[in-house]
Chain A
Amino acid sequence: MSAPEPLPEPLLAAEGLAIHSASAIIVRDASLAVRPAEVLAITGPNGAGKSLLLRALAGLMPDGVRVEGGVHRPPGRVVLLPQGGPLTPHQTLGAQFAEVTGTPAEGRAVLWLERLHVSQAARRLHLYPHQLSEGVRWRAALALALAAEPRVLLADAPAAGLDPTVRARLLALLADWARETGAALILAGHTRDGVAGPADRLLALENGRLAPPPVSAEPVTAGPPPGGAPVLSVRDLRVTFPLGGGLFGGRASTLVAVDGVSFDVAAGETVALLGESGSGKSVLARAILRLLPGAGGRVLWLGRDLLAMGEEDVRHLRHALQALFPHPRATFDPRRTIGAQVAEALAALAPEVDEAKRRARVDEALADAGLPAVAADRCPAGLTDGEAARAGFARALAPAPRLLVCDEPLATLDATDREDLLAHLLHHQRADSLSIVFATEDADAACRIGHRVLVLLAGRVVEEAPAGVLTQDARHPYTRALLAAAGGGRPDLAGDPPPALRLPTGCAARLRCPRARDFCAQEAPHLETVRPGHRVACHYWDADAGEWDAGEWDAGEWDAGE
């Protein structure tokens, strides 16, 4: 982990660095040093000044921003990879590599791309950025940065927005590069961007101060699982979307978003739905609440099938079935105040409560969620992300629901807000025996607050187990990759996820799977029991971990341009 003795000279060092804009001090008195072969991660909330700090370190300040203090840069190159990994839209990848390396030779460009696991690299050099999938575009942007052979690479939110398993693997490759070549690597981003994973050292930028992150309190975890009969039973739920076709004909097809999912939730229990984008967890969460129509199966709430009910009957049950959505601010009407919208929900869900009592309950719900009283009179645009998420909690919990279906409610939040709200959620669960269905792509959160975890891939459950079992003995390669990504490790899953409309035959994971054999292409695996309560859908789930081929494997063959 640490640099060898004696400590080599730092490659890049800043002492007493301060960044001022016209009206504010953004960073004050920041000092840092990175040594050769060291990976440093800088985390911080939105608007903390991470990007400006990186630009100051690279010596590329925008107009109107002043830097004080000294930055010692190495004689070699310092390369800054800006947020979003931009590529020049009107040039092919090959032309962009030629510009960086100063030679039109394609061989080296291909090597760099292959280093970052881009398949068919030579062919892709002739493509334009818009012809590449998001995953390949990020790989290309990182490869371009590496092709400049920097002594110090400053990456701003690298690979943010990619699925965790893909991102964690890319960051691990970057760290490998730094350690092999003796370059220094600084990764900046949110904690949720996974930049801390491959880092040797961690600094946090908050309120203008750069310091080692505070030792976090004990992370919140769910209590012991409650027993009891299920309140919600989902049986063979199937959700499909028609594609194409329509009024004037045309070839119609169907996208199966959720296929044959079954699970039970008892009172006071949390079931986590774990999966990356496209796994169907959001669709599943919405279909349970009848916000999307189900195409088959049953959703039994206290024995009554929600899918078979009329719209109006479901509406009368909604006071017990509440939801939290991703992007909390977008779930509020931008034209109306938060207080009015919470009151509106309460009026619709609990019409028996009179006006005065309702107002008191709105205030109570907002205060309970940790919002100041003035927040009730604000419109959504006037709230921070954390406040908007709290307002979402207030609206969902005001009618005292018995089931809360959460779809990535914390995805846009900073680490502190996230822990606060998780604690708030679990507090309500204990106090009111609230049942929770919690959809997330963060395996750590899923295993901490879920009593049971369902791992979803391409609309199907590929593994389900109690959270404790899953963290110790996950059997599906996809589950293991998600756990590795959440733990800052290197997921053993190659390439990019296939698009939903071009899934491979047989097992949906096989193109990325290190265990894949010919048989995986022939037949989709069914859930098999590993032990009571632990089921997995993999033909080779009993393959020992030692058998895994840890060699590099890449079948990421999924371009928009093909």
Chain B
Amino acid sequence: MDAGRFDPTTDTPAQAARRRFAAHRPAVHGVGALAVLTVLGFVEPLLAGPFATDPIVRALDAGHTTLALALVGGTLAAIVGAGWGVLAVTIGGRAERRLTALAQGLAALPLALLPVLAGGLLGRGVDLLILAVAAAAAPAAALATRTTLRARARREYAMAARAAGLTPAMVLWRHTIPNLAGPLLAAVWPVLPRALAVESFAGVVGLGAPAPVDTWGTLIGGALTAPFGAGLLAPALLLAAALAALNAVGDGVAASFPEERP
């Protein structure tokens, strides 16, 4: 796609990955959009005094909370999912098939309802919400991790490094992990937009973060009952922008680590 920009004789793979990311324009715009949303969250308290009840100001105020919830829930899901996938591939054989089938079965369920169910059955709380969001996003991350590891399991360089006298631990830390880090990041990145979407859905149906905490989801949910849907537009647009930006950055990360040709 942008192979012309990449000169293998002069670039290191890390430089090439940066170049590919920079060449992916939606991803760059996505990073910019996320930066703007974050900065606006800091600017908002200056406006808060006179306009504290203005829907736009409230939506900006909710931005940090929303993104933080998505980040924490998504990171948790990424860690669990990646661990799941790594475990499956490391054991291999029938156990791998079982673990993968389990992830596939879970991923096929409407997991977006999990935070709603948790909120409805167990009561509303931020900790519980984060756990439920992570549980909803983890199976897909496990599947992506396992697929990536299988596709990149060309371990000739690991065997050559062992023949060159390195200990298994040295091979793992110096060669295997650094080479898999980028592709794995690309594989699990989609948990972030997924976590944001799941958390917002719970908020919209009124079972998201509890009362004093505002997120875009709860703001949208509240606005739905207001006359003429007042205050709906600002949080809805910000949520849509954040989701699009996260997905675009994910595409850029994936494009930065293309499948190696043999």
Contacts and interface: CB of A to CB of B under 8 A. Distances in A.
Contact of B93 (A245, A332, A344): A245
B164 A318 contact: yes
Interface string A334-349: 1111000100110011
Given A244-B94, A246-B94, A331-B156, A348 B12 contact: no
A335 B164 contact: no
A381 B10 CA distance: 10
Chain A contact residues: helix, strand, loop or mixed: loop
B8 interface: yes
B179 A348 contact: no
B14 A335 contact: yes
B149 interface: no
B13 A334 contact: yes
Interface in A356-383: 378-379, 381-382
Contacts of B98: 247-248
A359 to B, nearest CB: 17
A490 interface: no
A335 B13 contact: yes
Contacts of B170: 348
Given A289-B163, A335-B179, A345-B164, A330 B154 contact: yes
B160 A348 contact: no
Nearest to A337: B12
Contacts of A318: 163-165
Interface residues of A, number: 38
A319 B165 contact: yes
B43 interface: no
Interface stretch (A300-308, A320-328, A532-540): A320-328
Interface in B90-145: 91-95, 98
B179 A333 contact: yes
A392 B174 CA distance: 19
Interface string B166-181: 1110100011001100
A315 interface: yes
Interface in B57-110: 91-95, 98
Contacts, number: 98
B18 interface: no
Contacts of B94: 244-250
B51 interface: no
A291 interface: yes
A395 interface: yes
A286 interface: yes
A325 B262 contact: no
A348 B157 contact: no
A246 B92 contact: yes
Nearest to B16: A381
B260 interface: yes
Nearest to A249: B94
Given A245-B93, A332-B160, A381-B8, A348 B166 contact: yes
Contacts of B157: 330-334
B242 to A, nearest CB: 32
Nearest to A330: B156
Q: Tell which of A335, A337, A378, A382 has the most Cβ of chain B within 10 Å.
A: A335
A286 B91 CA distance: 22
Contacts of B13: 334-335, 379, 381
Contacts of A291: 159, 162-163
Contacts of A334: 13, 157, 179, 260
B9 interface: yes
A335 B260 CA distance: 12
B165 A331 contact: no
A123 to B, nearest CB: 32
Interface in A392-420: 392, 395, 399
A28 B260 CA distance: 32
Contacts of B159: 286, 291, 325, 331
Contacts of B37: none
B89 to A, nearest CB: 13
B241 interface: no
A407 to B, nearest CB: 10
Nearest to A350: B165
B9 A345 contact: no
B179 A322 contact: no
A378 B175 CA distance: 17
Given A348-B166, A382-B10, A395-B160, 16 more contacts: A244-B94, A246-B93, A247-B95, A247-B98, A322-B163, A323-B163, A331-B157, A332-B160, A333-B175, A335-B12, A335-B178, A335-B179, A337-B12, A344-B161, A349-B165, A381-B13
25 contacts: A244-B93, A245-B93, A246-B93, A247-B93, A247-B94, A248-B94, A248-B98, A291-B159, A318-B163, A325-B160, A327-B156, A330-B156, A331-B156, A333-B175, A335-B12, A335-B13, A335-B178, A335-B179, A341-B164, A345-B161, A349-B164, A379-B12, A379-B13, A381-B8, A399-B165
**Which 4 pairs from chain A and chain B are nearest by CB?**
A246-B93, A345-B164, A348-B165, A247-B95
